[in-house]
């Protein structure tokens, strides 16, 4: 990234780089594509997760007004897959921003693929404490909105993330892009199961 670029524009480019990498949404042509942009984009992962989550939620809410619940759920899943180009589903098949968990895994584990081209490699390099803090705050903030069940969901997602991270460390010594995609899907599933678990939540 050129020296002397204003901080606000630099962060805007990094945000657009995250949108470009993790979704199928178009971004301005002046954003371009470079590994340097991606290195700074990592702390915007939860923002992308919020965008995808809101898209799925909006589709679900609208769908329940038009169709039976099962159809609305399928429509919601299809909407998020179309938005992301099935990026994480592909990772799960080959190997959950949300809430900053994947960023923590990337910070704690080394990148496992030593050679060969990889789109995810720039994201894996030099994960700073600032990126972890921003991702964590962006991920934790929404937990205060829906109430107690989200705490169970967050706890379950964290447990799944830890188990997945330990498994990757033992089997691969690190992670790859597909492993992170799989981790996102597993943690998302863990969050849903934890949130709807029949626990004696205080009323």
Q: DSSP string of 112-150? A: ---SS--SSHHHHS---HHHHHHHHHHHHGGGGTT-THH
Tens of each residue's pLDDT in the chain, 203 residues = 556 678 888 889 989 998 998 899 999 998 887 777 777 787 788 888 889 889 999 999 999 999 999 899 999 989 988 998 877 665 454 454 444 556 677 777 777 765 555 565 666 555 667 766 766 676 666 666 666 677 788 888 889 989 988 988 888 888 777 788 888 888 888 888 888 887 555 55
Q: What is the pLDDT of residue 174?
A: 82
Q: How far lies 192's CA from each of 42, 100, 155, 156, in Å?
A: 24, 16, 11, 9
Q: What is the pTM of this model?
A: 0.69
Determine the pLDDT at residue 94. 47
- pLDDT attached to residue 55: 93
Distances in Å between the alpha carbon of 143 and those of 56, 140, 151? 17, 6, 7
């Amino acid at each position: 990234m050129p020296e002397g670029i204003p901080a606000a524009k630099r962060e805007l480019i990094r945000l657009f780089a995250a949108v470009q990498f993790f979704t199928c949404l178009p971004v301005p042509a002046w954003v371009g594509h470079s590994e340097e942009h991606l290195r700074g984009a990592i702390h915007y992962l939860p923002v992308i997760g919020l965008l995808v989550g809101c898209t799925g939620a909006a589709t679900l809410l609208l769908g329940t007004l038009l169709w039976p619940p099962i159809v609305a759920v399928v429509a919601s899943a299809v909407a998020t897959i179309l938005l992301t180009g099935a990026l994480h589903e592909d990772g799960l098949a080959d190997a959950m921003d949300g809430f900053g968990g994947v960023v923590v895994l990337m910070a704690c584990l080394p990148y496992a693929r030593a050679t060969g081209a990889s789109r995810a490699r720039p994201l894996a390099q030099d994960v700073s404490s600032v990126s972890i803090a921003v991702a964590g705050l962006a991920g934790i903030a929404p937990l205060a909105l829906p109430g107690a069940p989200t705490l169970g969901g967050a706890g379950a997602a964290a447990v799944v993330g830890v188990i997945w991270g330990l498994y990757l460390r033992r089997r691969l010594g690190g992670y790859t892009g597909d492993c992170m995609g799989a981790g996102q899907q597993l943690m998302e599933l863990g969050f849903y199961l934890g949130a709807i678990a029949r626990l004696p939540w205080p009323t």
